[in-house]
Chains A and B, each alone.
Chain A
Amino acid sequence: MTLTPILTDTWDAERSWKLSTYEAAGGYDGLRAALAMEPGAVVQAVKDSGLRGRGGAGFPTGMKWGFLPPPDGGPRYLVVNADESEPGTCKDIPLMLTSPQHLIEGVIITSYAIGCHHAFIYVRGEVLHVYRRLLAAVEEAYAAGYLGKDVLGTGYDLEVTVHAGAGAYICGEETALLDSLEGLRGQPRLKPPFPAVAGLYARPTVVNNVESIASVPGIIKNGADWFAAMGTEKSQGHGLFSLSGHVQRPGQYEAPLGVTLRELLDLAGGMREGHELKFWTPGGSSTPIFTADQLDTPLDYESVGAAGSMLGTRALQIFDETVCVVRAVSRWTDFYAHESCGKCTPCREGTYWMKQVLHRLETGEGTDGDMDLLLDLCDNILGRAFCALGDGATSPVTSSIKLFRDEYQAHVDGHGCPFDPSAAALFLYTPKSARTPALAGAGGHR
Chain B
Amino acid sequence: MTVTTPKPAAAEPGPVQKPDLVTFSVDGVELAVPKGTLVIRAAEQAGIQIPRFCDHPLLAPAGACRQCLVEVATPDREGNLRPMPKPQASCTLEATPGMVVKTQVTSPVADKAQQGVMELLLMNHPLDCPVCDKGGECPLQNQAMSNGRADSRFQDVKRRFPKPVTISTQILLDRERCVLCQRCTRFTEEIAGDTFIALQLRGAEQQIGRYDVDVLDGDARGGTAVDRPVGEAYPDTSGQPFSSYYSGNTVQICPVGALTSAAYRFRSRPFDLVSTPGIGEHDACGSAIRVDHRRGVVMRRLSGEDPVVNEEWITDKDRFAFTWQSAPDRVTTPLVRDVAEDGTKGELRPASWAEALEVAANGLSAARTAGGVGVLPGGRLTVEDAYAWSRFARTVLGTNDVDQRARVHSAEEAAFLAHSVAGTGVGVTFGDLEKAPAVLLVGLEAEEEAGVTFLRLRKGAERHGVKVFAVAPYASRGLDRMHGTLLPAAPGTEAEWLDGLRTRLTGGLLPPEAGSALLGPEIEALAQPGSVILVGERLAGSPGAYPAALALAEATGARLAWIPRRAGERGGVEAGLLPNLLPGGRPVTDPAARAEIAAAWGLTGTSIPAEPGLDTTGILDALSVGALGGVLVGGVELADLPDPAHARRALAAAGFVVSLEVRASEATRYADVVLPVAPPVERSGSYWNWEGRVRAFPAALDSSALPDHRVLDVLAAQLGTSLGAATPVEAHLAVAAPGPWTGLRATAPGGEAGEPPVVAPGHAVLASWRLMLDDARGQDGEAFLAGTAKRAVARMSAATAASFDVYDGDTVTLATDRGSVTVPVAVADMVDGVVWVPLASAGCRVHDTLGAVPGDLVRVERSEA
Contact = CB atoms under 8 A, between A and B. Distances in A.
Interface stretch (A39-47, A86-94, A222-230, A379-387): A379-387
A443 B61 contact: no
Interface stretch (A101-109, A149-157, A266-274, A334-342): A334-342
Contact of B124 (A168, A344, A349, A385): A349
B120 A353 contact: yes
A305 B154 CA distance: 33
B156 A190 contact: no
B92 interface: yes
B203 A384 contact: no
Given A190-B63, A384-B69, A356 B206 contact: no
B157 A342 contact: no
Contact of B116 (A187, A346, A351): A346
Interface stretch (B159-167, B321-329, B593-601): B159-167
Contacts of B85: 383
B202 A342 contact: yes
A341 B120 contact: no
Nearest to A336: B203
A190 B92 contact: yes
Interface string A422-446: 0000000000000000110011110
Interface residues of B, number: 40
Interface residues of A, number: 40
Contact of A343 (B64, B92, B120, B154): B64
B20 interface: no
Contacts of B204: 337, 340, 342, 348-349, 351-352, 444-445
Given A360-B156, A443-B205, A444-B157, A384 B64 contact: no
A356 B157 contact: yes
A340 B158 CA distance: 17
Interface in B331-364: none
B154 A348 contact: no
B707 interface: no
Contacts of A349: 120-121, 123-124, 204
A344 B153 contact: no
B113 interface: yes
Contacts of B65: 344-345
Contact of A346 (B66, B124, B205): B66
A240 to B, nearest CB: 29
Nearest to B125: A349
A360 B119 CA distance: 20
A345 B87 contact: no
B117 A352 contact: no
B654 interface: no
Given A337-B204, A373-B153, A380 B117 contact: yes
Nearest to A357: B156
A379 B119 CA distance: 13
B157 A348 contact: no
A384 B124 CA distance: 18
A256 interface: no
Given A340-B204, A341-B202, A439-B156, A190 B161 contact: no
Contact of A342 (B67, B160, B201): B201
Interface in B47-83: 61-67, 69
Contacts of A340: 202-204
Contacts of B66: 344-346, 384-386
B603 interface: no
A35 B64 CA distance: 44
A398 to B, nearest CB: 15
A170 B206 CA distance: 14
A372 to B, nearest CB: 10
Contacts of A341: 202-203, 206
Contacts of A386: 63-64, 66
A348 B159 contact: no
Contact of B179 (A345, A377, A379, A381): A345
A380 B113 CA distance: 6
A185 interface: yes
A350 interface: yes
B236 to A, nearest CB: 16
B87 A384 contact: yes
B199 interface: yes
Interface string A159-180: 0000000001010000000000
A373 B120 CA distance: 13
B818 interface: no
A168 B116 contact: no
Max count, chain A CB within 10 A of own CB: residue among B153, B156, B203: B203
B112 interface: yes
Contacts of B87: 383-384
B86 interface: yes
A363 B162 CA distance: 29
A376 B120 CA distance: 12
A223 B107 CA distance: 51
Given A341-B202, A345-B67, A373-B153, A444 B112 contact: no
Nearest to B181: A345
A89 B71 CA distance: 34
Given A384-B86, A384-B113, A445-B205, A342 B180 contact: yes
Given A345-B121, A384-B66, A386-B66, A442 B160 contact: yes
A295 B202 CA distance: 38
A356 B154 CA distance: 10
B106 to A, nearest CB: 18
A348 B180 contact: yes
A360 B153 CA distance: 14
Nearest to B159: A444
A315 to B, nearest CB: 22
A24 B364 CA distance: 108
A348 B117 CA distance: 11
A278 to B, nearest CB: 29
Interface string B149-187: 000011011111110000000000000000110000000
Interface string B186-208: 00000000000011011111100
Contact of A168 (B92, B113, B120, B202): B202
A340 B206 CA distance: 9
A102 to B, nearest CB: 33
Contacts of B180: 342-343, 345, 348
Interface in B193-230: 198-199, 201-206
Contacts of B123: 349, 353
B117 A338 contact: no
B764 to A, nearest CB: 40
B357 to A, nearest CB: 65
B63 A438 contact: no
A342 B156 CA distance: 19
Max count, chain A CB within 10 A of own CB: residue among B87, B119, B202: B202
A380 B160 contact: no
B116 A379 contact: yes
A190 B59 CA distance: 14
A345 B120 contact: yes
B86 A344 contact: no
Interface of B: 61-67, 69, 85-87, 92, 112-113, 116-117, 119-121, 123-124, 153-154, 156-162, 179-180, 198-199, 201-206
Given A351-B204, A352-B204, A353-B120, 16 more contacts: A187-B199, A190-B92, A340-B203, A340-B204, A342-B203, A344-B66, A348-B203, A349-B124, A352-B203, A360-B156, A379-B112, A386-B64, A386-B66, A442-B161, A445-B203, A445-B204
23 contacts: A170-B202, A185-B199, A338-B203, A339-B203, A341-B203, A341-B206, A342-B203, A345-B66, A345-B67, A346-B66, A352-B159, A353-B156, A356-B156, A357-B156, A376-B116, A379-B116, A380-B120, A384-B69, A384-B86, A386-B63, A439-B157, A443-B159, A444-B160
Interface of A: 168, 170, 185, 187, 190, 337-346, 348-353, 356-357, 360, 373, 376-377, 379-381, 383-386, 438-439, 442-445
The 5 closest A-B pairs by CB, nearest first: A380-B116, A342-B206, A383-B86, A349-B120, A356-B156
